[in-house]
Amino acid sequence: DTGVSQDPRHKITKRGQNVTFRCDPISEHNRLYWYRQTLGQGPEFLTYFQNEAQLEKSRLLSDRFSAERPKGSFSTLEIQRTEQGDSAMYLCASRPEGETQYFGPGTRLLVL
């Protein structure tokens, strides 16, 4: 499978715990995006990488969220001290030089 992959697909955690998600983009795509989607809403932009550089970060992203893409390949998104409001689907997307963003299957987070 040469598409975007995300791991884990599902995560249940208790409030206050830290969680980390991983995204592996399509191999030749140097641009990577994280979005968050809650039930009944469209995805909301969180952050954007071009190669290893984090070029944009949404104002929605609190300081409990951090993302990295250390070698310009896979990316991780960490949420510290999770809150119930963090429960959502976390989507990763990648794109090449062209316009189209290709989405991964998402990681569904439930914070109890």
Partner 1 sequence: QKEVEQNSGPLSVPEGAIASLNCTYSDRGSQSFFWYRQYSGKSPELIMSIYSNGDKEDGRFTAQLNKASQYVSLLIRDSQPSDSATYLCAVRKYNAGNMLTFGGGTRLMVKP
User: Binding of partner 1 at residue 51 (CB under 8 A)?
Assistant: no
User: Binding of partner 1 at residue 25 (CB under 8 A)?
Assistant: no
Question: Could you give the CA distance from residue 112 to residue 9 in angstroms, rounded to a whole number?
Answer: 17
The amino acid present at 66, given as its one-letter code, is S
User: Binding of partner 1 at residue 1 (CB under 8 A)?
Assistant: no
User: Binding of partner 1 at residue 44 (CB under 8 A)?
Assistant: yes
Contact 88, 30 (CB under 8 A): no
* H or E element in which residue 58 lies: none
The stretch among 19-27, 28-36, 69-77, 80-88 that binds partner 1 (CB under 8 A) is: 28-36
Cβ neighbours of residue 6 closer than 8 Å, sequence gap 6 or more: 21, 22, 23, 24, 90, 91, 92, 104, 105, 106, 107
CB of 26 to partner 1, least distance (A): 13
Contact 31, 19 (CB under 8 A): no
User: Binding of partner 1 at residue 27 (CB under 8 A)?
Assistant: no
User: Binding of partner 1 at residue 2 (CB under 8 A)?
Assistant: no
- Which residue, 36 or 111, is less far from partner 1 as judged by CB? 36
Footprint of partner 1 on this chain (CB under 8 A)?
Answer: 31, 33, 35, 40-45, 48, 55-56, 89, 91, 95, 99-106
